[in-house]
Amino acid sequence: MALTRLDCTKCDRTYAPGVVLNLCTACNAPLFARYDLERAARTLRPEALATRERSMWRYHEVMPVEDPAQWLTLGEGWTPLLPTPRLGARMGMKRVWVKDESGNPTGSFKARGLSAAVTMAKVLGAKAVCLPSAGNAGSALGAYAARGGLEAHVFVPKDIASLFLMETRAYGAHVETVDGLITDAGRICAGLAKEHGWYECATLKEPYRVEGKKTMGYELAEQLGWTLPDVILYPTGGGTGLIGMWKAFEEMETMGLIGSKRPRMVAVQAEGCAPIVKAHAEGKPDAPMWPGATTHAHGLRVPKALGDFLILRAVKESGGTAVAVTEAEIIQGVKDISAAEGLFVAPEGGACVAALRKLQAAGQVTPDESVVVFNTGTGFKYVENMAPLW
Amino acid sequence: MALTRLDCTKCDRTYAPGVVLNLCTACNAPLFARYDLERAARTLRPEALATRERSMWRYHEVMPVEDPAQWLTLGEGWTPLLPTPRLGARMGMKRVWVKDESGNPTGSFKARGLSAAVTMAKVLGAKAVCLPSAGNAGSALGAYAARGGLEAHVFVPKDIASLFLMETRAYGAHVETVDGLITDAGRICAGLAKEHGWYECATLKEPYRVEGKKTMGYELAEQLGWTLPDVILYPTGGGTGLIGMWKAFEEMETMGLIGSKRPRMVAVQAEGCAPIVKAHAEGKPDAPMWPGATTHAHGLRVPKALGDFLILRAVKESGGTAVAVTEAEIIQGVKDISAAEGLFVAPEGGACVAALRKLQAAGQVTPDESVVVFNTGTGFKYVENMAPLW
C-alpha cells in the first residue's frame, strides 16, 4: 500500500506505520499519515475514479487501508455537492454550493473519520475503542465498532440530546455521561483508555480520522471537475475536516490532480465558543481554552482543539478568516436554507449559512465568487437542541 | 424523451403524457408511465451507467424527465446495498443485504418518489402540490417544493411525531394536522385540492411517484451485477416501492438488462394494520379497509392502499408472501440490526428484520438464499415513536 510513514505535525519525528499510535511520543502533537504519492498518482486518475464505488474509499490509494475486504464501511462519503441558487440569490451570491454531509451513515460527516479510524483500529489489532463526543462522533464510533465487532466506549456531556444516547447504545456502545464539556469528557476517557488498554480515537489523537475527513477535499475537487472554489465555509469545532481538506489539497497538487490555487478557508464558530476566531483576530499561532463555552450547536462547543495550530495555519495560509455567529443567527441560517432549498441542516450547517451572509454584507466575498458551504450533519438529530430557540 | 403514454392499471384506457393527470378518468385506478423501451435500451447499458451521477436520475431514459436542467434533485437515490454478515449469521442466513434508504434527502425513500413527482408537477405547470402523509412523504414533498419554488400543502394525523412538523414547516410547507388516520387526511386533502386547484401527489394518485420509487429496483439489479436476489422483504404501507420495483423488473427484462427470474416479494406489515397480509392469506385480489389501524411504525399505518390490487398481484405472481409482525418484534428488529451492523433503522426497517427472522424460523427462506431487506428510512425521525416501547 501507499502509506509509508507517520509524521509529527510539530517536530521532525517520523514513525513507521503498522502499529497502534496516538500522538507524537516526543512532543504530544498529532501525527499525519504520509503516502508514496508518486505511486498513488499512477492509478488515482480522474478517468479511473469515474467508475469507482460511491464512497470515500474510492480514493483508496491515499487511504490507510487499500484492501476493500478490510474496510468497515456503511457507505460513508461521496455526498452530494448541491448548487443552491435560491439561497445564493437571497444573499446576492451567484455561485453557492452546499456540500451536504447529512446523508452519511449515522447522519453526519463524523462517519468518514470513524470509518477510517475504526477500520485501522481493527487492522492494527485493537479490541476496544473510545472517544469523548458532543454526540455525532460517539454514534459514528458506535456504529463502526458494531460493524467491526469491536467494543466501544463513548463519553459525552450530560446535556446531550437524548436521541444520541438511544442511538449510540443501540449500537452496543457503552456510553457514560459526564458533568462538563467535551474537554472534561476527554480527560476521563483518556484516563480510562490508559487503564483498560482501549485505543483512543479522540479528535486528532490518532492519525486516521483525519484521513477519512480529508476525503471531503478530494470529493470537492472531483465534483467541481478538479478545480476548487474561491471560498470554503466550514463549521469548526475540533477542526479535523478543515485540517484534512488542507492536507488533501496538498496531496492532490503533488499528484498533479489540481494546481496551486487554494480556496480561502473560513472557520465558522459560535459566539459562545469562538477560540479560533479570537486567536485568528489576534494573529496567534494557537488558541487558548475558551472559558464558559456555550452553544446549542454542540459540534461547535469545543473550547480547546488539539489541532488549533493546524486550523489557524490553514486559515492564515489560505488568506481566509474566522467568523463567529450568534445562536439566533444559527437558527435563522437553518431556517433560511430549509426554506430556500429543502435542506433541513444541522445547526453547524446553519452557522455557515449565517457566516456567509456576514461575509457578503462585509464585502469579504463578492457576488461572482464560488463558495462552498459545509453542512456537516442532519438537523433531525438536533431537534431537541433547536426547539427552544426555534 | 422515451415517455410515450400513460396506461391505466385496471382498464384499457391510455393517455398522452404532457398534461396534469391523476387517476384514470374512466375507472379511478392508478396510471403507469410507459416508455419507448427499445429506444431507452440503446443507451441504458451497464457500461454507460458505470460513469453516471450518483442519484436515481442515472436511469433518466426510463424517467419522466430526461433533461437534467429540469430535475429537482437533492441527491436522492443510489443508496448503499450493504452486506450484513453479522445480522445474517445471527439468523442462520448466509447472504443478507440491507438496501439502506436512510441516507436519502429528508431521511427516507420518500425522497425518490417526491423528487420525480414534484419535478413533473413543475414541468407540467402546477403551482401548488399537496398530499396526506404519515410524516416522511410530507417532509419530502415540502423539501422538493422548496427546491422548485412551489407551494406545498401537507395533511398529517395529529399524533405525528413533532419532528415532522418542525421539519416540514421549515421547508415552508403548510401543514394541517387531522384528527384521524392517513386515509382521513387524504379525504380532506383531496377536497381542498379540488377546491384550490392544487396538484394532488397522494400515493399512486399521480403517475410519477412510482417512477421515482421504481429506481430502487434498478439499483438493486445494478448493484448485484444485473442479477436479482431470491427474496426481497419490503415494508408495505401504500406499497409504491414494491409496485414500482415490480414494474422496474419488467422494464429491465424488456430492455435485456436482466432475465426472467424474479425475487419472491414479501410484503411486511404490522399486526395492528395488516390489510395486505389478510387479503393475501385469503387469496383475495384486493384488500378491504383495516379497521382500527394502529402501529408506532407510522409508515405502515395505512388501512387502505389505493394500489392494494397491484401489491397483491406482485406478491402472488412472484411466489412471495405477506407477513405481519408485532410492535415488540419491530423494536427488537431495530435493536438487532443496530447492534449487529451499526444501522439505526426506522421501525419499518426493523419490521423487515423481524419478518426475515419469522420466515427463516418457518423454513420459508433457506440459509443459502440471497435476501434483500429494505430499510426505508432513518431511525432518527422515529425516536419519539420508538422511545415508549424501547
What are A231-247's pLDDT values in tens digits?
A: 999 999 999 999 999 99
pLDDT exceeds cutoff 90 at A76: yes
pLDDT confidence of residue B27: 95
The per-residue pLDDT for range B156-209, each reduced to its tens digit, is 999 999 999 999 999 999 999 999 999 999 999 999 999 999 999 999 999 999
CATH code assigned at A143? 3.40.50.1100
Mapping DSSP onto H, E and C, the string for chain A reads CCEEEEEECCCCCEECCCCCCCCCCCCCCCEEEEECHHHHHHHCCHHHHCCCCCCHHHHHHHCCCCCHHHCCCCCCCCCCEEECHHHHHHHCCCEEEEEEHHHCHHHECHHHHHHHHHHHHHHCCCCEEEEECCCHHHHHHHHHHHHHCCEEEEEEECCCCHHHHHHHHHCCCEEEEECCCHHHHHHHHHHHHHHHCCEECCCCCCCCHHHHHHHHHHHHHHHCCCCCCCEEEEECCCCHHHHHHHHHHHHHHHCCCCCCCCCEEEEEEECCECHHHHHHHCCCCCCCCCCCCCCCCHHHCCCCCCCHHHHHHHHHHCCCEEEEECHHHHHHHHHHHHHHHCCCECHHHHHHHHHHHHHHHCCCCCCCCEEEEEECEEHHHHHHHHHHHC
Pairing of strands A370-375, A264-270: unpaired
Last residue of a domain, one of A147, A177, A200: A200
For residue range A161-178, list pLDDT tens digits in order.
999 999 999 999 999 999
Q: Say how far apart CA B117 and CA B147 lie, in whole Å.
A: 13
Residue B311: its pLDDT value, please?
A: 98
For residue A187, tell me if it sits in a domain: yes
Q: Using one digit for the tens of pLDDT, what is the confidence trace for B72-96?
A: 999 999 999 999 999 999 999 999 9
Check whether residue A57 and residue A158 sit in a common domain: no
Residues in chain A: 390
Work out the minimum CA distance from B282 to partner chain A, whole angstroms.
Answer: 38
As a whole number, mean pLDDT of residues B289-308 equals 97
A295 contacts A328 by C-beta, under 8 angstroms: no
Indicate yes or no: CB of A146 within 8 angstroms of CB of B171.
no
In a domain, A76, yes or no: no
Percent share of chain B, pLDDT over 90: 97
- Asked whether the predicted pLDDT for residue B1 surpasses 80, the reply is no
Q: How far apart are CA B351 and CA B348, in angstroms?
A: 5
Short-list A133, A318, A340, A116, CA closest to A233: A318
Neighbours of B363 (CB within 10 A): 7
Spell out the residues 6+ positions from residue B301 whose beta carbon is closer than 8 angstroms to its own: B134, B157, B181, B182, B237, B270, B272, B273, B293, B294, B295
Q: What is the pLDDT of residue B349?
A: 98
Residue B264 inside a domain? The answer is yes
| A62 & A177 share domain | no
Indicate the pLDDT class of residue A2, thresholds 50, 70 and 90. confident
User: A386 to chain B: which residues are within 8 Å by CB?
Assistant: 166
Tell if the CB–CB gap between A342 and B142 is shorter than 8 Å: yes
A380 has a pLDDT exceeding 80: yes
Residues A362 and A383 in one domain: yes
Partner-chain contact A142 B380, CB within 8 Å: no
- In DSSP notation, B8-59 reads ESSSS-EE-SSS---S-TTT---EEEEE-HHHHHHH--HHHHTTS-SSGGGG
How many residues does the structure list for chain B? 390
- Give B62's contacts (C-beta < 8 A, 6+ positions apart): B2, B35, B37, B40, B44, B211, B214, B218, B251
Question: Between the CA of residue B76 and those of A112, A312, B107, B272, what are the distances in Å?
Answer: 20, 36, 10, 31
Query: φ, ψ for residue A199 (rounded to 5)?
Result: -85, 115
Contact assignment for B383 to A166 by CB distance below 8 Å: yes
Mean pLDDT of chain B: 97
A100 and A85 in a common domain: yes
pLDDT at A8: 97
* A155 and A288 fall within a common domain: no
In a domain, A266, yes or no: yes
Dump pLDDT digits (tens) for A192-224. 999 999 999 999 999 999 999 999 999 999 999
Q: Which of A149, A170, A340 is closest, CB to CB, to B86? A: A149
- C-beta atoms of B143 and A342 within 8 A: yes
| A92 and A224 both lie in a single domain | yes
Pair A266, A313 in one domain: yes
* Whole-number pLDDT of residue B2: 84
Contact criterion met (CB < 8 Å) for A381 and B380: yes
The pLDDT value recorded for residue A386 is 97
Asked if B163 lies within 8 A of A74 by C-beta distance, the reply is no
A384 in Cβ contact with A297 (< 8 Å) = no
Q: pLDDT tens-digit profile of B239-248?
A: 999 999 999 9
Inform me whether the pLDDT recorded for B16 exceeds 90.
yes
Nearest by CB to residue B50, choosing from A51, A78, A380, is A51
Contact call for A163 and B100, based on CB within 8 A? no
Query: Average of pLDDT values for A128-144?
Result: 98
Contact A327, A295 (CB under 8 A): yes
Contact A80 B54 (CB under 8 A): yes
Say what the pLDDT of residue A18 is.
Answer: 85
Structural domain including A320 reads 81-105+207-389
Given a cut of 80, whether residue A1 has pLDDT beyond it is no
Using CB atoms, pick whichever of A139, A146, A338 lies closest to residue B170.
Answer: A338
Nearest to A51 among B51, B78, B144 (CB): B51
Disruptive mutation site among B72, B171, B334 for chain A (greatest number of A CBs within 10 Å)? B171
Residue B120 dihedral angles phi and psi, to the nearest 5°: -70, -40
Q: Which of A114, A139, A378 to mutate to test the interface with B (most CBs of B within 10 A)?
A: A378
Residues B326-331 have a mean pLDDT of 98
Give the pLDDT confidence score for residue A19 in this predicted structure: 87
Give dist(CA B390, CA B387) in Å, integer.
Answer: 5
- What DSSP state is assigned to residue B159? T
Between chain A and chain B, the number of residue pairs with CB atoms below 8 A apart is 142
- Whether B300 has a pLDDT exceeding 80, the answer reads yes
| Residue A242 forms part of a structural domain | yes
The type of residue at B90 is: R
Per CB-CB distance under 8 Å, the chain B contacts of A175 are none
Of A81, A117, A351, nearest in space to A236 by CA: A351
Q: How far is B51 from chain A (nearest CA, A)?
A: 5
Among A171, A200, A229, give the residue marking a domain's end. A200
In a domain, A384, yes or no: yes
Residue A99 included in any domain: yes
A101 and A181 within one domain: no
Rounded to a whole number of angstroms, the distance from the CA of B240 to the nearest CA of chain A is 22
Q: Are residues A180 and A219 in the same domain?
A: no
Average pLDDT, chain A: 97
C-alpha cell at B140: 419530502
Of all residues in chain A, the one with the smallest CA distance to B334 is: A170
The set of cell numbers assigned to B194 is: 379540488
Mean pLDDT of B320-339: 98
Cell of residue B148, nine digits? 422548485
Selecting from B73, B167, B380 the residue whose C-beta is nearest the C-beta of A107 gives B380
How many domains does chain A fold into? 3
Contact B383 A334 (CB under 8 A): no
Is B42 within a domain?
A: no
pLDDT, mean of residues A62-88: 97
Give the pLDDT score at B244: 98
Considering the domain architecture, whether residues A122 and A143 belong to the same structural domain is answered as yes
Nearest CA in chain A to B83: A74
Phi/psi for B55 (5° steps) reads -150, 170
Contact at CB, B75 and A100, closer than 8 angstroms: yes
Partners of B81 in beta bridges: B99
Q: Looking at the structure, tell me whether residues A173 and A243 fall in a common domain.
A: no
With beta carbons under 8 A apart, name residues in chain A contacting B390: 166
Q: What local confidence, expressed as pLDDT, does residue B18 receive?
A: 85
Residue whose entry in the numeric block shows the C-alpha cell 478543515: A242
Per-residue confidence band for B119, with pLDDT thresholds at 50, 70 and 90: very high
Please check whether residues A185 and A92 belong to one and the same domain.
no
Looking at the partner chain, which of B74, B340, B381 has a beta carbon nearest the beta carbon of A80?
A: B74
